[in-house]
Structures are given as C-alpha cells and as structure tokens.
C-alpha cells in the first residue's frame, strides 16, 4: 500500500485533476484500492488540499505578494510553533515556514497593494512579542510556481540567432 500511495502522491502532485479511474489506469491498480489510498492520504493529512496553481500575471489579478523573513527571540517555554500560531491565522498569510539561516520564519503574504503589506508588517507582525527583526521582499515576477514553469511550453526554449 505504501508503494501505491507514493505513486498516487507523485501523480497528484503533477496534476491534481486525475480521477480515481485515471490514477488506476496509470498505476495499474484497482480503482477501489486507489480510492482507499487517496482517502487515507487525505485523512492522515498527507494531502492537505487540492488547489489550482495560478499565474496571477496572466489573469491580471490585482494583488501584491511578498516574502517576509522574520527573526524571533527565543523565549522560555515558547518554541517556534507558538510564533507560527500567532501568524498563520492572519488572512494575509498564505504560507509559513520554519527556516534555517539568518532568519527563523519565512512568511508569504498577499495584499491588494504595497500599502496592505506595509500595514500588515507595521500593525500585525511587528507588534508580536518576541519578533526582533523582519525583512520584506516583494515578488516582482514569477518564473516557476510549485514546479511549473509559467511560460507556455512553446516559449520555453530560447532560440539563438547569429548574424
């Protein structure tokens, strides 16, 4: 069953639109086994959510995205999880990761404009006890999102011309 689950995860990562029947055909396992495995993966939390990967530049979405690096001061009896819990309920926060290196947390946020991001940093993030530093990086262009190149396939290869 573990081999089956690994195959399913790989396929759903490539395209979450696969039906149980399609997964069954590709893997060569009975549809009922595939369905059971997918439901087990969902129930265990291995599959968190099914979602479309959007290129906001193409759909002209009016939003600004940023990655904010956050440094925290270690506090007695408070781990990094407590800081994450303070942050992940904010609507602006789209993704949140514990990191190694100079900063402790990477917070990916979204707002309608730069002012929304600035307001989030000033009024919500910087007022949390124990946060000692933040560094905000605005996302200017997306070349690859969740493993997918954003250009259409026919534009991937660059042609070289010599005169």
SS3 81: helix
pLDDT exceeds cutoff 70 at 21:
yes
pLDDT digits (tens, 9 = 90+) for 32-80: 999 999 999 999 999 998 887 777 777 766 789 999 999 998 777 778 9
Assigned token pair, 103: 């900063």
pTM, to two decimals: 0.73
- Which of 116, 117, 95 minimizes the C-alpha distance to 105? 95
Cα dihedral 83, 84, 88, 92 sign: positive
What domains does the chain contain, in order, with CATH numbers?
Answer: 2-44 (1.10.10.10), 64-141 (3.30.70.920)
């Amino acid at each position: 069953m573990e081999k089956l689950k690994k195959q399913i995860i790989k396929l759903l990562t490539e395209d979450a639109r696969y039906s149980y029947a399609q997964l069954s055909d590709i893997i060569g396992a009975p549809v009922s086994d595939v369905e059971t495995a997918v439901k087990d993966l969902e129930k265990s939390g291995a599959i968190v959510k099914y979602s479309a990967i959007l290129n906001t530049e193409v759909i002209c979405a009016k939003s600004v995205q940023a990655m904010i690096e956050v440094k925290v001061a270690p506090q007695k009896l408070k781990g990094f999880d407590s800081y994450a819990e303070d942050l992940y309920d904010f609507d602006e926060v789209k993704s949140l990761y514990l990191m190694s290196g100079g900063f402790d947390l990477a917070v990916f946020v979204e707002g309608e404009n730069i002012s929304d991001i600035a307001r989030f940093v000033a009024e919500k993030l910087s007022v949390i006890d124990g946060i000692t530093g933040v560094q905000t990086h605005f996302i200017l262009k997306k070349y690859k999102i969740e493993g997918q190149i954003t250009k259409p396939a026919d534009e991937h290869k660059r042609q070289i011309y010599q005169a």
